[in-house]
């Protein structure tokens, strides 16, 4: 029985079914990918995205969860692929492999697989998976090549819209070339197969929907979904006072030169429900790999402000204009290195929110740690002779909010629901011991609503290996507070080798570290919101009891005096707050 709807006329029930079915496809693709992948960065950390796109590169749907900073750089790959092959150049069974920085400037570990979807012989859409491979050759092992890599060729293998499968048949020569030039072929090629399987699952689900409702109905529903998503976002932005809002911040160093500031400057224009984010005043591209080629920062901020709980689709960004000139640090020109591409995105999101804070005081948080938080230790196991790599992501502190404290130990705004690696899983796979993973007292900025705390990760390695010491320190421009709140503290890495009595601050990629060394990875804390002297003394007391705030900080910043038994000295507290407010 043919159950397809013959007309493009939509009834509300059909619209709602399609509205929910399209995001469900992407989310089911994500579950399939996560269940079958080989690499902890995918199955544990969830550093990936799954999506459906039109042949014009418009985003139909994206998975719930995973990393949010992939939201901006999917459609450009389809547009480039269509230029390369043309609509007639794709056929069922094709699988395209790409990670090239000239189009979507990211580190090469973020490998994209996409597959065409045909309905009744016509190319309609593509399903796509971007996922973080553990290695793509060169200096890419772990989270990427680091700031010192001079160009993409040193970073790793570049795949520029290559058909790894054509018409359902694998390109054996290309497959062997890739697998022969990476350090962990079992993991990376296994992950590629998982990506392909997820894309094919998406194609099957699209075919089911199109067969049931027909092409005209599905595409008509998609246009209405786009229109409604746009209007919802416009409705939110229209509540902001029209005007021009500006803010700036900086990263203290480009990963090589600590005195070379990376400036982030934003000008946000609100005009009758439309938002324009102009980043023309930001730093130009650098000769080191801190560069990117992405609109992710403005898009993440806009989505968070307008419709954070709504499914992601192209309509949700129609009322946003991003201005990032060519040659900017975030619109760098190939072949400038981009291995550390994500360094500036988190800070961009916070700076946009900072600019808009006067327009939305009751809903803007203070700055968060803005740190990707990746820890990498790798080498060869002397007993087994096998290569190993530790990869885990630990969060930091988020800024205090107008109604509650910032979250502690949470990943950044660009990482969605990315998770850290479990201690048990890490120790099972790598010759190390996690001695502690804990919150760092006093790392959150003081405020009426306290900033969240950063994390200290204590690791001891049992064998010689190499560490990537690349945390975002945030010393010169720490996560700022709002409306009288204090800044959070910065982060970094500390190293103590066997026989040494104290820890030393360290930086750098692929640093050799001997056996029995101890490393502490520190993530920054979030900024405070509001005057610390307005915080309820009982909340300060509880923070001290829980070990989140020291008794000294309670007295010096919050004006709360505690007795030896940690009870509040009401009279001394009143006197101390009068002194501090005077």
pLDDT in tens, the chain (582 residues): 344 444 456 899 999 999 999 999 999 999 999 999 998 888 888 899 999 999 999 999 999 877 888 888 999 999 999 999 999 999 999 999 999 999 989 999 999 999 999 999 999 999 999 999 999 999 888 777 777 888 999 999 999 999 999 999 999 999 999 999 999 999 999 999 999 999 999 999 999 999 999 999 999 999 999 999 999 999 999 999 999 999 999 988 777 777 788 999 999 999 999 999 999 999 999 998 999 999 999 999 999 999 999 999 999 999 999 999 999 999 999 999 999 898 899 999 999 999 999 998 888 999 999 987 778 888 888 888 888 888 788 899 999 999 999 999 998 888 877 778 889 988 988 899 999 999 999 999 999 999 999 999 999 999 999 988 876 678 889 999 999 999 999 998 999 999 999 999 998 778 899 999 999 999 999 999 999 999 999 999 999 999 999 999 999 999 999 999 999 999 999 999 999 998
- Give every CB contact of residue 227 below 8 A, 6+ residues apart in sequence: 315
159: tokens are 């795949």
Nearest Cα to Cα of residue 370 among 289, 491, 485, 262: 491
Q: Please, which residues have CB within 8 angstroms of residue 556's CB and are 6 or more apart in sequence?
A: none
pTM of this prediction exceeds 0.85: yes
Distance CA 234, CA 281 (A): 26
Q: Rounded to whole angstroms, how far apart are CA atoms 71 and 308?
A: 13
The DSSP H or E segment spanning 15 is helix 12-36
Q: CB under 8 Å to 422, separation ≥6 — which residues? A: 44
Rounded Cα gap, residues 138 and 385, in angstroms: 21
For 460, the 3-state DSSP assignment is strand
* Residue 259, burial from CB neighbour count under 10 angstroms (0-12, 13-18, 19+): exposed
Task: Note the pLDDT of residue 567.
Answer: 97
Supply the Cα-derived Rg of the chain in whole angstroms: 25
Least Cα distance to 328 among 269, 276, 286 occurs for: 286
Residue 340 near residue 470 (C-beta atoms within 8 A):
yes
Residues 6+ apart with CB under 8 A from 428: none
Distance CA(432)–CA(513), nearest Å, equals 12
Given this model, what pLDDT does residue 9 score?
67
Q: How many CA atoms lie within 13 A of 192 on its CB side?
A: 23
From the CB of residue 123, how many other CB atoms can be counted at a distance below 10 Å? 17
How far is 252 from 473, CA to CA, in rounded Å? 8
Counting Cα atoms < 13 Å in the Cβ hemisphere of 296 gives 26
Residues 392, 372: Cα–Cα separation, whole Å: 10
Name the H helices within 37-160: 40-43, 75-85, 152-155
């Amino acid at each position: 029985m043919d159950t397809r709807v013959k007309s493009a006329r939509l009834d509300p029930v059909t619209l709602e079914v399609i509205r929910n079915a399209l995001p469900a496809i992407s989310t089911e693709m994500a579950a399939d990918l996560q269940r079958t992948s080989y690499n902890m960065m995918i199955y544990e950390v969830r550093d990936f995205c799954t999506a459906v796109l039109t042949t014009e590169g418009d985003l139909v749907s994206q998975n719930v969860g995973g990393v949010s900073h992939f939201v901006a750089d999917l459609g450009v790959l389809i547009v480039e692929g269509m230029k390369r092959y043309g609509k007639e150049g794709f056929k069922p069974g094709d699988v395209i492999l790409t990670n090239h920085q000239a189009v979507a400037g990211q580190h090469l570990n973020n490998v994209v697989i996409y597959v065409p979807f045909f309905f009744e012989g016509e190319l309609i859409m593509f399903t796509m998976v971007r996922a973080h491979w553990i290695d793509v050759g060169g200096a890419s092992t772990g989270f990427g090549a680091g700031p010192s890599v001079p160009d993409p060729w040193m970073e790793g293998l570049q795949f520029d819209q290559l058909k790894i499968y054509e018409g359902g048949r694998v390109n054996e020569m290309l497959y062997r070339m890739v697998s022969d030039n990476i350090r962990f072929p079992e993991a990376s090629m296994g992950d590629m197969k998982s990506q392909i399987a997820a894309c094919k699952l998406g194609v099957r689900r699209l075919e089911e929907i199109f067969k049931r409702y027909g092409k005209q109905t599905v595409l008509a529903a998609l246009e209405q979904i786009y229109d409604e998503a746009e209007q919802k976002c416009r409705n939110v932005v229209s509540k902001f006072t029209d005007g021009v809002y500006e803010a700036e911040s900086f990263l203290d160093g480009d990963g090589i030169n600590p005195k070379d500031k990376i400036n982030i400057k934003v000008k946000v224009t609100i005009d009758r429900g439309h938002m324009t984010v102009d980043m023309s005043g930001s730093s130009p591209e650098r000769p080191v790999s801190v560069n990117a080629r992405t609109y992710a920062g403005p898009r993440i901020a806009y989505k968070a402000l307008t419709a954070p709980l709504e499914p992601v689709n192209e309509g949700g960004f129609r009322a946003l204009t991003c201005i990032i000139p060519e040659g900017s640090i975030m619109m760098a020109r190939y072949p400038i290195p981009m291995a550390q591409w994500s360094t500036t995105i988190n800070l961009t999101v916070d700076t946009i929110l900072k600019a808009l804070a006067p327009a939305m005081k009751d809903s803007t948080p203070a700055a968060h740690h803005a740190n990707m938080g990746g820890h990498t230790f790798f080498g060869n196991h002397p007993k087994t002779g096998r290569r190993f790599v530790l990869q885990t992501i630990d969060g930091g502190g988020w800024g205090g909010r107008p109604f509650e404290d910032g979250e502690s130990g949470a990943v950044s705004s660009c990482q969605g629901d990315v998770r850290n690696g479990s201690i048990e899983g890490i120790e099972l796979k790598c010759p190390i011991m996690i001695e502690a993973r804990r919150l760092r007292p006093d790392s959150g900025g003081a405020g009426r609503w306290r900033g969240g705390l950063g994390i200290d990760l204590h690791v001891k390695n049992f064998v010689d290996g190499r560490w990537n010491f690349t945390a975002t320190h945030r010393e010169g421009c720490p996560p700022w507070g709002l409306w009288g709140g204090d800044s959070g503290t910065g982060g970094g890495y500390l190293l103590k080798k066997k026989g040494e009595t104290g820890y030393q601050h360290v930086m750098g990629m692929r640093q050799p570290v001997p056996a029995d060394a101890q490393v502490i990875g520190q993530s920054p804390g979030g900024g405070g919101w509001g005057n610390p002297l307005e915080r309820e003394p009982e909340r300060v007391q509880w923070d001290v009891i829980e070990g989140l705030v020291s008794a000294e900080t309670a007295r010096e910043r919050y004006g709360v005096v505690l007795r030896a038994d940690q009870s509040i000295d009401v009279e001394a507290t009143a006197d101390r707050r009068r002194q501090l407010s005077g």
